Amino acid sequence: MQNTSDLIVILGTGGTIAGTAVDASDNVGYSAAQLGVAQLVAAIPMLAARRLETEQVAQLDSKDMDFATWQRLAERVATHLARPEVAGIVITHGTDTLEETAYFLQRVLAPSKPVVITAAMRPATALLSDGPQNLLDATVVALQSFVGGVLVVLGGAIIDAQQVRKVHSYRLNAFAPAEGGHVGVVEEGQVRWLSRPLLPLLPLIPLMPLMPAFGLARIARSVDAWPRVEILFNHVGCDGAVVRALLAQGVDGLVVAGTGNGSLSSGLEAALRQAQAQGVMILRSTRCDAGPVSASETALPSAGALSPVKARVEMLLTLLGSSD
Ligand code: SIN
């Protein structure tokens, strides 16, 4: 008799993993989001014996990921996770904004079953296409995971949604945890868990004892009514003119990627304080690849150890929540 909860649902959203090029040696001149998720699965013989369902939620290059697709994706993930027969979800995605989607889904759903996002750095037609192995590995992780939460699987590495960052524009192992280590690795169809807190074989524990789920209902409003949150940088010669331009246009929140430990040029800080005085929410992150921004009573609010793009997700949710 079949295990009652061994079904994996694979949701397709596009990306290079579903991309095709005219020439197999062309790793960059391809079109993303050309193949359906069912075609990606059908190309992997090892998945033929698995209990799988596929659903095409979107078909886009993830540089164009948008709030409406996030809403739909979160709703489809939640719907499938609520089915008792579903052990976990796999999502195929583009690599470019994968870390934002991973963090968004973790914060909105805080799933108690595994939601595994995978992608590829080479199109499906490439000589060395990494998509099929990544999709197979992601399916293995969704089946073997005893932890809930959003995980990212690429190049045999498992990284959690909080830590994951795209750190390289071209190479196959383009993702790394910002700090700390990998959650685990996938080797020949077996998951080897590395993260110390995960070693006791507890049944589905939440991977990130972070914050409770923000909740689907609170992101359900029309995306036209979502807050406008922009990201800007401190840099040499930064005078805050961008902040003033955004204020003139209308903006609800600003995440600033400061230098080092979130430092800001005098001109940028003055402009941000002016924006804050006008009711714009401000968070200070860092343009460094990793590390926290220290909080201080005298400085603008810190985003902690969140990267600018994840701080932006956090701010979007805070602003959505405050206007409930
Ligand atoms: C995308 O992000 O959709 C295109 C690039 C990629 O998947 O590597």
**Is any atom of ligand 1 closer than 6 Å to the C-beta of 61?**
yes
For ligand 1, whether the C-beta of 15 sits within 6 Å is: yes
Indicate the pLDDT class of residue 210, thresholds 50, 70 and 90: low
What are the helix (H) ranges across the chain? 37-42, 67-81, 98-109, 131-144, 241-249, 266-277, 308-322
The predicted model gives 235-260 an average pLDDT of 98
Position 290 confidence tier, pLDDT thresholds 50, 70, 90: very high
Range with lowest mean pLDDT among 167-171, 202-206, 278-282, 305-309: 202-206
pLDDT at 1 over 90: no
CB 64 less than 6 A from any atom of ligand 1: no
Q: What pTM was computed for the model? A: 0.95
Mutate to test the pocket of ligand 1, among 13, 95, 129 (most ligand atoms within 8 A of CB): 95
Q: Looking at residue 206, what is its pLDDT?
A: 45
- Residue 196: pLDDT over 90: no
Taking the centre of ligand 1 as the mean of its atom positions, its distance from the CA of residue 260, in whole angstroms, is 29
Catalytic status, residue 54: no
The alpha carbon of 85 and the centre of ligand 1 are apart by a number of angstroms equal to 31
Out of 16, 69, 92, 97, pick the active-site residue. Answer: 16
Of residues 188, 186, 201, the one with CA closest to residue 152: 186
Give the pLDDT confidence score for residue 323 in this predicted structure: 77
* Residue 248 confidence (pLDDT): 98
Domains and CATH numbers, the chain: 7-216 (3.40.50.1170), 227-322 (3.40.50.40)
Atom index in ligand 1 nearest the CA of residue 64 equals 3
**107 closest CA partner among 228, 207, 183, 230:** 207
H/E element, 175: strand 175-177
Q: What is the pLDDT of residues 212-232, one digit of tens each?
A: 899 999 999 999 999 999 999
Higher-confidence residue of 292 and 201: namely 292
Ligand 1 in reach of 121 Cβ (< 6 A): yes
For ligand 1, whether the C-beta of 130 sits within 6 Å is: no
Q: What percent of the chain has pLDDT over 90?
A: 89
pLDDT at 293: 96
Closest ligand 1 atom, residue 60 Cα: 3
Average pLDDT of 128-145?
97
Dihedral sign (CA 159, 160, 161, 162): negative
Q: Do the Cβ atoms of 20 and 123 come closer than 8 Å?
A: yes
Whether residue 131 has its Cβ less than 6 Å from ligand 1? no
Give the closest residue to 227 by CA, choosing from 306, 324, 115.
324
* Residues 40-51: tens digit of each pLDDT: 999 999 999 999
Q: What is the pLDDT of residues 261-273, one digit of tens each?
A: 999 999 999 999 9
Comparing 154 with 202, which gets the higher pLDDT? 154
Give residue 54's pLDDT. 98
pLDDT band for position 181 (cuts 50, 70, 90): confident
Q: Does residue 4 surpass a pLDDT of 70?
A: no
Q: Cα-flanking dihedrals φ and ψ of residue 189, to 5°?
A: 80, 10
| Res 90 pLDDT > 90 | yes
Helix, coil or strand: residue 97: coil
2 pLDDT tier (thresholds 50, 70, 90): very low
